[in-house]
Amino acid sequence: MKSANHSRLGRSWLPAHILVWLYAVLLVVPLYYFVASAFKTNEEIFASPFALPSSFGLGNFGTAFHSADLGLAVVNSALVTVFSLVLTLALSIPAAFALARSTGRLASLVESVFSLGFLIPTFAALFPTFLLAAATGLFHTRTFMILFLPATAMPLSVVILVQFMRTVPREMEEAARMDGASTFAVLRHVYTPMCLPGIATVLLLNFLTFWNEYLYSLVIIGPDPAQRTVQVALPTLKSITGTDYGVLTAGTVLTLVPVWIVYTVLQKRMQQALVSGAVKM
Amino acid sequence: MTTMTSTAGETAVRRPTPSSPAAARRPRRQGGTILALPALVWYLVFMVGPLVAIFVVAALRWPGMLQPVSFAGFDNVRTVLDDPVFWDAVSNTAIQLVVAVPVMVVCAYMLGYYVAQKPPGHKVIRYLLFIPGLISTPAKAMVFYAALSPDGLVNGGLKAVGLGSLADAWLASPSTALACLIALDIWAGIGFTAVLFAARLGSVPEEIGEAAQLDGAGHWRTMWRIHFPVIRDYVGVVTMLQFLWTLFGSAQHVLLLTQGGPGSSSTTLSFLVYQKAFIAADLGYSQTVGVFLFLTGLVGLLAIRRAFRRNH
């Protein structure tokens, strides 16, 4: 099999190999440049952009942390992300449970509302959402983002969870019912444990989107350092530090760390989640 | 209502044991469709409501948050259509879509096919292709800022190979600003889209490709004539999504990298929505463009769906 594969990919594949690895280099070089520059001064960066840093001092990280209040921003991002995730699950698990088990016309209507919602780009309603925040008195708060983000995640989360819940055999529920389990108990002790992979997918996908969310956080939470998230704080480094690339890159690297840790630890699962989450209709 | 239909539907579907005790003890349906209500309400309040509001605000004369509001009817539409900046944005968006989406989808399809053949090193490639899907928009923008600013990576590289005369202030030059934004779309878009195609191509039965190879078809032929028709629908869906992401998502890139300038050379429609709402405070104008953007998205979506529908 292996050798067959190799003969299949003969010499005519050389241009393909070259092009693909060229693109891979284009993906890696900026990241390498970022990580390397985070440990350098401007002079070093300009003189030898691709050289390894001469020392691994954390000075740039300290400056980035300080000048853009990144520490606080990370805490804010973490708060918004965690609470939004909890709320997303609290809303989507019961909804998926209901939709997966129900065969009524209303349920299938609701389900198609969610699957169509997948096509509505979040950006479309930025300004009306801003009005909503103002009208509810939650403008310039993280609370509004915590309430709002789960709504944006609802279509995808519900659709993914419904698919998982449909695979739970009816007999499991019937057995539990015989033992006198309530609907809630069925959800809690039968469906939820059996759908953990689906829940993990939803968590991972939404962790990425919530942590990386930028435009709404910028408009609704605003620039107040006490409230703003890390994605909003990051671009301010550009103006604060002028062209101190060392600090700019150090700040960027800092914001990537949480995502990077999760990706490395859960690589397989994360890749599956991203692939399954992108196209669901 | 739901109670009735769901019980009826259920007995119709689940035949084998009509007289099971469980069924008899189940006077009300076991569903609880009501549990879907909170999620639905949440979704309607925070997503559908604001979406509808776009159309309302578009019909208002509203020159700033704290200014009095009055009904404008189609006046905003007239103002927008008479504004040369709007037409610049239309043409910029058109260029962006026409260049970025096809390049992205075609390259990603070929790259996905390559990865799906499992050539040496395909695991490393796959790992790397996920990178753009992981990093946030501001981080991507910082990457491009560091690469393209006057003393950034690209100019440094050009100087290093003796082409210093080609160096330019890429993001600040009217002739290259839009191209930079398109490059960012393509750079970030190919990798992740390729992973999606690779995953989908991985589930195409191997025999299909092998049979074609035995008939003497080269990879180029197999890729486009054999595999492409099999996953045609999927390519269509991915194209639709990339179209939407590019159309609506460009506001963030523009905001972070060029602010629409110089002049209006890199103003896209979605950035115009943002700029008129939050910088120029012309809210009726902004949302009129928003309606236009939304309709463009809808029409584009249907057109792409049509183009990818099997027509044989």
Measured between beta carbons, which residues in chain A are less than 8 angstroms from residue B274? 126, 215
* Encoded tokens for B80: 């927008």
Decide if A154 touches B, using CB distance below 8 A: yes
Q: Does A191 touch chain B (CB under 8 A)?
A: no
Q: Is A132 inside a domain boundary?
A: yes
Q: Which pLDDT score is estimated for A1?
A: 38
Query: Does the distance separating the beta carbons of B2 and A106 come in below 8 Å?
Result: yes
Each residue of A150-192: pLDDT tens digit?
A: 999 998 899 889 988 988 888 888 888 888 888 888 888 889 9
**Looking at the 3D structure of chain A, how many domains does it have?**
1
End-to-end CA distance of chain B: 43
Q: Find, in chain A, the residue whose alpha carbon is nearest to that of B39.
A: A91
Rounded distance between C-alpha atoms, residue B130 and residue A171, angstroms: 40
Looking at the DSSP bridge assignments, the partners of residue B60 are B71
Q: Say if A173 falls within a structural domain.
A: no
What are the respective helix, strand and coil percentages of chain A, to the nearest 5? 80, 0, 20
Cα separation of B134 and A194, whole Å?
A: 28
pLDDT at B21: 45
The pLDDT value recorded for residue A3 is 40
Spatial distance between the Cα atoms of A97 and A90, rounded to a whole number of angstroms: 11
pLDDT tens track of chain B, all 312 residues?
A: 333 333 333 333 333 444 444 444 443 445 577 888 899 999 999 988 888 888 888 888 888 777 788 887 788 888 889 899 999 999 999 999 999 999 999 999 999 999 988 888 888 888 888 888 888 888 888 888 888 888 777 887 888 788 877 888 888 888 899 999 999 999 999 988 998 898 888 888 888 777 777 777 777 888 888 888 888 888 998 898 899 989 998 888 999 898 887 888 899 999 999 998 888 888 888 999 999 998 999 999 899 989 988 664
- DSSP secondary structure of A234-278: HHHHHHHSTT-HHHHHHHHHHHHHHHHHHHHHTHHHHHHHHHHHH
Rounded distance, CA B188 to CA B131, Å? 8
Q: Is the pLDDT of residue A38 over 80?
A: yes
Residue A111 falls inside a structural domain: yes
Q: How many CB pairs below 8 A link A and B?
A: 283
Tokens for A120?
């509505």
Whether chain B has a CB inside 8 Å of the CB on A266: the answer is: no
- Tell me, rounded to whole angstroms, the distance of Cα B72 from its chain centroid: 32
Query: Chain A: residue nearest B281 by CA?
Result: A127
CB B195 to CB A91 under 8 A?
Answer: no
Q: Whole-angstrom Cα distance, residue A19 to residue A63? A: 39
pLDDT above 90 as % of chain A: 15
Identify the CATH number of the domain in which residue A225 sits. 1.10.3720.10
For residue B71, what are the β-bridge partners?
A: B60
Q: Which residue of A has its CA nearest to B33?
A: A98
Question: Any CB–CB contact under 8 A between A117 and chain B?
Answer: yes
Nearest CA in chain B to A28: B128
What number is the average pLDDT over the span A62-80?
87
- pLDDT category at A139 given cuts 50, 70, 90 is confident
Q: Is A31 a domain residue? A: no
Q: Give the distance from residue B175's alpha carbon to the nearest chain A alpha carbon, in angstroms.
A: 23
Tell me how far the alpha carbon of residue B256 is from its chain's centroid.
18
Interface contact B248-A150, CB threshold 8 A: no
Contact criterion met (CB < 8 Å) for A24 and B128: yes
Evaluate whether residue A28 is within a structural domain: no
Q: Is pLDDT above 50 for A195?
A: yes
**Whether B32 and A98 lie within 8 Å, measured CB to CB:** yes
DSSP state of B164: G
Task: Give the pLDDT of residue B100.
Answer: 95
Give the torsion through C-alpha atoms of B93, B95, B100, B103, to 10 deg. 160
Is A236 within the bounds of a domain? yes
Geometric angle at alpha carbon A178, from A172 and A184, rounded to 5°: 70
Distance from CA of B192 to the nearest CA of A (A): 9
CA-nearest residue to A208 within chain B is B134
- List the single residue in B138, B190, B199 with the smallest CB-CB distance to A23: B190
Nearest CA in chain A to B254: A215
The domain of A124 spans 62-166+201-278
User: Which of A201, A183, A207 lies closest to A100, judged by CA?
Assistant: A183
Shortest distance, CA B84 to any CA of chain A (angstroms): 23
pTM confidence score? 0.84
A91:B39 CB<8 A: yes
* Pairwise CB contact (< 8 Å): A98 & B13: no
Predicted local distance difference test score (pLDDT) of residue B270: 92
Residue A118 domain-assigned (yes or no): yes
Instruction: Tell me, yes or no, whether A195 lies in a domain.
Output: no
Contact call for residues B248 and B290 (beta carbons, < 8 A) = no
Domains annotated on chain B, with CATH: 78-308 (1.10.3720.10)
Per-residue pLDDT tens for A196-212?
Answer: 888 988 898 899 889 98
CB contact under 8 A, A20 and B274: no
Chain B residues in contact with A257 (beta carbon < 8 A): none
